Structure 1
Amino acid sequence: MARQELPVSFDLGQAQGPVTLASLIKRDEPILAQPTSSALESSADDKLLALVERSEQFEEALLMCFPSVGTLLSIDSDQCQLAASACHLCIEHASVARAAFTMDAPNSASAVLRLQYEALLRAAWLVYVANPAQISKLGQDLTQKAELAAKNLPGANEMLAKVLEAAPQGLTAHLAEFDQYSRHALNSYVHSGIHPLRRVREGFPEEMALQLIRISNGLMHMAYRMLATLTGSQRRMNKVTRLYEQFTDCCPMKPAA
């Protein structure tokens, strides 16, 4: 079985500039989930809820770019179905992360954001890198034998290295930036390390929460762009790609000059 070559255009959108989690730790700003004055607490909540609402509007606009019956793949293959599944997983994680922030669970939201990144990375790897044997391993029915076989598949570091070599720069730039500036700190939230333990004791910086929501929206947008590509419609690809220009206030990137 040969790999399906899928035309993808990821040439729009550039980062506003890296904001590392470490750079947000010591800033003097309102804190979430920590006793503060009612005025500061209300201000922080208002900003977060407004950003979450705007993020929901962004996703609704993205969904309007697709048929009401769902995503129709241009090529009905295991490769495309698995890639689409990984994109949907990325989008699901984005929704859960937003909900966690509104539930005053920012540490859980941060852990989910790390999972969201890897779902998008897996989708990119499936589209641009995975060979037929690897695709077959992920496409098997859930059995103990299939689970053991899938454990031999590349992890995040290996997937990223291969994707950076094979995928379009417009996609790889965002994946590489996330890996460089956010992934390692977010790993700490997945493994209950120093970052979440400190945040539980001292509170979660408002600016950090807002930035993580924007980063999550950026990953979600990339997942929808990849889904648009999998439908084979150039018009849909262009529409989804350009849509973020209307939502730069809730995204981590700005339109290209």
Structure 2
Amino acid sequence: MDLLGLLERSDELHEALATAIDGAEAYDFRWTVAQLACTVAWQHASGLRLAIGQQLLAPAVGLLRLQYEAFARAAWVGYAASDEELRSITPPFTPESEKAAKDLPTLTKMVEQLASARRLAPGRRIRCSPRSRGQTGAP
């Protein structure tokens, strides 16, 4: 399939996801923060699709990485971050929270923590093997 065909399919997925999450409300503070982090990933994805549509492939590659990192961080916030880590990335920002935010795990560590997250539904885990990145399923 050509690049424009993939872009059309991406637009269809974007619209389907927008419909599916329309009106979704976070049920606690953790999910409010995760939902805001997902908004950043969503915006990067929108910019990525626009860049590809204009044949701006070099910036698109940069946006793809930003989108992946933003989504991984949003998932980490929702499923693996400790309450202390969550507090360090949310207002009010103080010198103490700034220091704690500097001690947050790297993206690689966040993804590793997602692999063993206990907040996932019973019997479900995020697989992080090279063949199944991002997929969920039975352990």
Alignment TM class, shorter chain as reference: 0.7 to 0.9
Aligned equivalent of 2:14: 59
| Structure-2 separation of matches of 1:157 and 1:165 | 13
Q: Which sections of structure 1, spanning at least 5 residues, go unmatched?
A: 1-43, 181-218, 223-257
| Structure-2 separation of matches of 1:161 and 1:110 | 24
Which residue identity lines up with residue 56 of structure 1 in the other structure?
D
Is 136-145 or 98-107 further displaced after alignment? 136-145
CA shift for structure 1 position 154: 0.8
Which residue identity lines up with residue 72 of structure 1 in the other structure?
E
- Structure number with the bigger relative contact order (C-alpha 8 A, sep ≥ 6) is 1
Which residue identity lines up with residue 80 of structure 1 in the other structure?
W
TM-score by length of 2: 0.76
Cα gap change, 1:120 to 1:66, in 2 (>3 Å)? closer
TM-score by length of 1: 0.44
* Count of residue pairs the alignment pairs up: 130
3-state SS, counterpart of residue 81 of structure 2: coil
Q: Bigger radius of gyration, 1 or 2?
A: 1
- What is the root-mean-square deviation in Å for CA atoms of aligned residues? 2.8
CA shift for structure 1 position 54: 2.3
| Structure-2 separation of matches of 1:124 and 1:60 | 21
3-state SS, counterpart of residue 43 of structure 2: helix
Identity among equivalent positions (%) equals: 32
CA shift for structure 1 position 76: 2.8
Cα gap change, 1:88 to 1:147, in 2 (>3 Å)? same
Which residue identity lines up with residue 4 of structure 2 in the other structure?
L
CA shift for structure 1 position 97: 1.1
CA contact (8 A) 2:76 2:114 kept: yes
Q: Alignment partner for residue 105 of structure 2, among 154, 179, 199?
A: 154
3-state SS, counterpart of residue 65 of structure 1: helix
1:9-158 superposed matches below 5 A: 47-67=2-22, 70-73=23-26, 75-77=27-29, 79-141=30-92, 146-158=97-109
Aligned equivalent of 2:130: 177
Aligned equivalent of 1:215: none
| Structure-1 separation of matches of 2:36 and 2:102 | 18
CA shift for structure 1 position 137: 0.6
Cα gap change, 1:143 to 1:109, in 2 (>3 Å)? farther
Q: Which sections of structure 2, spanning at least 5 residues, go unmatched?
A: none
CA shift for structure 1 position 129: 1.6
